[in-house]
Amino acid sequence: MLAAGVVSFALMLSLVTPALPTIRDELGTSHAGVTRVLTAYLLSASIFTPIVGRLGDRYGKKRFLVIVLVALALGSLAAALATTLPFMILARVIQGIGGGVLPLAFGIIRDEFPPDEVGGAVGFIAALTASGAGLGLVLAGPIFSTLSYRWLFVIPMVVVVAAAVAAQVFIPESAERASDSISVGAALAMSGWLVALLVAIDVAPQRGWTSVSVIGLLLVALVLCTLWILIETRSDSPLIDIRIMAARQVWATNLVALLFGVALYALMSTLPAFLQTARDHGYGFGASVTHSGVMLLPQSVFVFLAGSSVGRLARTFGYRAILVAGTVISFSALVTLALAHTHQWHIFLVTCSTGVGFGLAFASMSSIVVRSVPRHRTGMAGGVNANIRTIGGSLGASIVASVVAADVDPSGVPAESGYTVGFLVLAGAMLLSVFAALAIPRGPRAIT
């Protein structure tokens, strides 16, 4: 049931992307309006993921797992029934509460699994998040063409309802609880700077990174983030324990998470458009939504296979070594994509390679964070790690979109050079992640 909830949440991140033009027409809105269907989900998940993880630590992980699964199901039902853009955005905000499923799953695994199985189980769940997000692009075409875009919400909803029922029946409530209360002021300040930051990142490609509105939002985010840090450092019951976040094994792993968020989500938003570009423009494959999904399928498969193997590999090599390997493989794959993308076998080589690299990295970084923090802070730390990946994803998608859109032909189609530079930017992020992974101490001990 943990896996079903995590996969359903991850699918919601990408499943609707290919259907956005149809949703735009059905709801009678503009391109800018329909993009809020995606950004509302990301914003909500960014805010609720660390908060729900902390609430689970304090009041019970099983209780809040059921709550977020119910919220995800209700949001999915509302999205399927939506006939106006505001109602659809509200539905997506409710769905975003489901982001808390990931830190809660990590906490439940650590509480209920034998110690020698925790790493493998956490790696499996972490791999599902990356694999599920990619799988959404693969499944969207067949579901959308066979049924309608509303089924993109209905099918995951059915799975989520079953997972919520199973969680209520079969998962025991943990006796391990954080004893301190939760700072409302910290939650409000954190929500404020996250909203300001992500909205700035979202509108920057259209308005320009130097526009007054974007700079203003970034300044608001900086002020609120500073206020949030001051509140947290002076609080006896911080929402996010800055002391734990400042530990080297945690901040270095979270930096890797940020950079992998940049690469994964930017690739998800960019590569399908590249594949679907007509060959008349001198590049691309003229692929349909379904065909481009098939070309991306190896990434999801190898993310899952590689991530699922991390628990066994870690017994021999350790999580740090596996994370470093994942960063190197991902860097090599994205450099290859930038230099060679004219034949289908190039694409399949890259999607297989990024699948292995992303799978190893996502599973190992989650295991490092979970094993590094006190048991009663597992939900908080897992929520922050997941949230940082989301922020990285928003940042990467925005930057690469700006790079690709910088050079277009008279018909509005981006030049091949824009995609090449965009892929090199992602390779640069992966190169930085290599150094960040190497900064993680060998065999980190749990913080007490």
Reading phi first (left if > 0) and then psi (alpha if -120 to 50, else beta), residue 241 is in beta
Tokens coding 58 = 């304090």
**In the structure, what pLDDT confidence band is assigned to residue 177 with cuts at 50, 70 and 90?**
low
Query: Cα–chain-centroid distance for residue 429?
Result: 16
What is the chain's mean pLDDT, rounded? 85
What are the φ and ψ backbone dihedral angles of 414, each rounded to 5 degrees? -60, 150
Q: Which residues are bridge partners to 407 per DSSP?
A: none
Q: Is the pLDDT of residue 446 over 60?
A: no
Percent of the chain with pLDDT over 90: 29
**Rounded (10°) CA dihedral 91, 97, 102, 105:** -110
pLDDT at 267 over 80: yes
Q: How many residues does the chain have?
A: 448
Q: Which residue has the tokens 């499944």?
A: 139
Task: Tell me if residue 374 falls in helix, strand or coil.
Answer: coil
Which pLDDT score, from 0 to 100, does residue 221 have? Answer: 93
For the record, the structure tokens of 265 come out as 């989500």
Give the least confident one: 3-7, 37-41, 299-303, 435-439.
3-7
Bigger pLDDT: 10 vs 325: 325
Confidence of residue 56 (pLDDT cuts 50, 70, 90): confident
Q: What's domain 2-182+237-438's superfamily in CATH?
A: MFS general substrate transporter like domains (1.20.1250.20)
pLDDT recorded at residue 443: 66
Q: Bridge-partner residues for 408, per DSSP?
A: 414
For 106, 322, 367, 375, 429, the CA distances from 115, given in Å and listed in that order, are 13, 19, 12, 12, 33
Q: How many CB atoms lie within 10 A of CB 406?
A: 14
Indicate if the pLDDT at residue 117 is higher than 60: yes
pLDDT digits (tens, 9 = 90+) for 313-345: 988 999 999 999 999 999 999 999 999 999 999
State how far the Cα of 360 lies from the Cα of 352, in Å rounded to an integer: 12
Neighbouring CB atoms inside 10 A of 265's CB total: 25
Question: Residue 1 is encoded by which pair of tokens?
Answer: 């049931």
Q: What is the pLDDT at residue 1? A: 60
Please give the pLDDT value at position 224: 93
Mean pLDDT, to the nearest integer, of 365-377? 83
